Chain A
Amino acid sequence: MRDRREGLDGLGVDVVAVAPTAAYQAQHLMQTGIPFPCLLDPERNLYRALDLGRIKAMAWLRLDTYRNYLRAVGRARQGLVSASGAVQRPGLVIVEPNGRLAYIHRGDTVGDYPNLDGVIARLRLLTITPE
């Protein structure tokens, strides 16, 4: 996402990242060049609003769930993620300028993010102004 920031700006798109925890890591990322705000949601207000709770039981039948979960366990040892955060469903949304949702991706399992090229293609369609 860092590498795509300039192109997104050209489309008239702002970016923010939100995570439940690790204020010091958010500060570190912004100080070292992440070109968008890294916000915190310790009460999971946004996650609740978007229905991004814990992964569902069926997700544990997937191999990538274990791979990403074990990666999160390693992060937990560094204090970057809580035990509940390790099974947090991720998500990505596009919000229109008026605050309405234009796109929602709710991750089925840990680490399930949409393809960035597809998201940017969708943004191009949304931001095209008919002549």
Chain B
Amino acid sequence: MLEVGDPLPPISLRAADGASVQLDDFFGRYLLVQCLRYYG
């Protein structure tokens, strides 16, 4: 299980238009990631 201090592994996600994106595309500044159950 990942803990504080561990590096996030490469994570493949999708943009809302269906394009493939990598979470580390968003690295570079501090990043707040909300993991929701659903949008709404």
Residues of A bordering B, CB below 8 Å: 1, 8, 11-23, 25-27, 29-30, 37-43, 45-47, 49-52, 72, 75, 78, 80-81, 85-86, 88, 90-104, 110-111, 113, 119, 123, 126-127
Contacts and interface: CB of A to CB of B under 8 A. Distances in A.
Does more than half of chain A's interface fall in helix, strand or loop, or is it mixed?
A: mixed
Interface of B: 1-9, 11-18, 21, 23-24, 26-40
A50 B31 contact: no
Nearest to A39: B13
Contact of B37 (A29, A86, A123): A86
Contacts, number: 172
Does more than half of chain B's interface fall in helix, strand or loop, or is it mixed?
A: loop
